[in-house]
Amino acid sequence: MKKISLFFLLISAFIFAQQSVLDQKINSIIKDKKATVGVSVLGFENGFKYSKNADKKLPMQSVFKFHIVAAVLDFVDKGKLSLDQKIALNKSNLLENTWSPLRDKYPNGGVEVPLSEILEMTVARSDNNGCDIMLNLLGGTQTVQKFMDSKGVKGFQIKYNEEAMHKDWNVQYENYSTMNSATDVLKKFYDGKLLSKKSTDYLMKVMLSTSTGLNKLIEQLPKNTPAARKTGASGKNDAGLTGAENEIAIITLPNGKHYAIAVFVSNSMETDAVNCKMISDISKTVWDYFNK
């Protein structure tokens, strides 16, 4: 028994030492930055955990589109919605002055497109109009909240849609997640505890095709590293403050194993380039840790 106890003590000491080295490296990246930086890392197969400010409730911005789309696919699983159903696009739901590749593709509206196209635009290209169209189909943000609550997702709140966030800078802080919540929900998703296998596989494929945020989590990773991602960003207000520069992802390692990572940069007075570089550098540091 003493030998077994000693073995586990040595293993625990080794893991703590490794986490300490990782923490030192991440501290050096965020040192002296005028920003709050939250980080959570969760190894899926080995249960490795790392956190930095990971219980702070930080604004999600478009990261919340992952949660919204998961709720939509739950409706699909339950037969309440269909990915093939046609959604009418018109001037009332293709708002101007917001990020919307969907509007750019159909500038005059007057068309019907399948729900799958709206969903894919919302995740892979972070379409704001697509996001609000899907929230309307669900009956509002409260449906997403109830779904996440039902799945045991803690440290998450959603109250406002994209249109509301564009009208009032401050409401973004009411749509928040902790970093630990973000990696937890990604693990639940990966494990098939959020959606059916069909919907899980479908959303994973869509997230793997994400084209936004190329200068964040994946920037310094080896080319073609599988990364199922969702990005978020607030831009700056008139005072030069960035409310949110965020990304969450499931990363597949060369050995076939996986980890979830969430990095949020909040209330930052740094430049956009510095904010994104912090996320990129943290991601590379974590990747190197898993690939020693």
Q: Which tens digit of pLDDT belongs to each residue from 115-127?
A: 999 999 999 999 9
- pLDDT (tens digit per residue) in 207-230: 999 999 999 999 999 999 999 999
Q: Which residues contact 60 (CB under 8 A, 6 or more apart)?
A: 158, 172, 175, 176, 177, 232, 244, 246, 264
Structure tokens at 260: 């979830």
Tokens of 75: 């409706």
Q: What is the pLDDT of residue 7?
A: 59
Give CA–CA dist 123/209, Å, rounded.
9
pLDDT attached to residue 271: 98
Report residue 163 as tokens. Answer: 């249109």
Decide if 275 is inside a domain.
Answer: yes
The CATH number for 218's domain is: 3.40.710.10
What pLDDT, on the 0 to 100 scale, is given for residue 8?
59
Q: Which residue has the tokens 């920037």?
A: 219
Distance set, CA 124 to CA 120, 230, 236, 275 (Å): 6, 8, 23, 21
Query: Based on C-alpha coordinates, what's the Rg of the chain?
Result: 19
Instruction: Assess contact for 184 and 55: CB atoms under 8 A.
Output: no
Q: Is residue 68 part of a domain?
A: yes
What domain range includes position 206? Answer: 34-291
Instruction: Determine the pLDDT at residue 248.
Output: 98
Per-residue pLDDT for 18 more than 80?
no
Distance separating alpha carbons of residues 82 and 72, to the nearest angstrom:
9
The CA distance from 254 to 3, in Å, is 34
CA separation (Å) from 190 to 28, 37, 195? 31, 25, 9
Active-site residue among 40, 62, 126, 266? 62
Q: Which two tokens stand for residue 140?
A: 């509002």
Known catalytic residue at 96: no
Q: For residue 19, what pLDDT is reported? A: 72
Q: For residues 62-90, give the mean pLDDT.
A: 98
Task: Please indicate, yes or no, if residue 69 is contained in any of the structural domains.
Answer: yes
Residue 27 forms part of a structural domain? no
- Average pLDDT taken over every residue of the chain: 94
Q: Which residue has the higher pLDDT, 89 or 16?
A: 89
As a whole number of angstroms, the distance between CA 176 and CA 157 comes to 5
**pLDDT tier for residue 14 given thresholds of 50, 70 and 90:** low
Among the listed residues 120, 162, 245, 247, the single catalytic one is 162
pTM of the entire structure?
0.93
Residue 171 resides in a domain: yes
Residues of the chain with pLDDT > 90, as a percent, come to 91
For residues 60-65, give the mean pLDDT.
98
Residue 4 lies in a domain: no
pLDDT at 272 over 60: yes
Please state the domain count of the chain. 1
The predicted model gives 49-75 an average pLDDT of: 97
CA atoms lying within 13 Å on the CB side of residue 183: 25
Residue at 13 is within a domain: no
Write the CB contacts of 137 (distance below 8 Å, at least 6 apart in sequence). Answer: 72, 75, 81, 87, 115
The number of residues making up the chain comes to 292
pLDDT-based confidence at residue 46 (cuts at 50, 70, 90): very high
Amino acid 292: pLDDT: 83
Residue pLDDT, tens place only, 137-160: 999 999 999 999 999 999 999 999
Residue 2 resides in a domain: no
Q: What is the C-alpha separation between 136 and 269, in angstroms, rounded?
A: 34
Q: Is the pLDDT of residue 239 over 90?
A: yes
pLDDT at 108: 87
- Is residue 117 among the annotated active site residues? no
Question: Residues 249-267: pLDDT tens digits?
Answer: 999 999 999 999 999 999 9
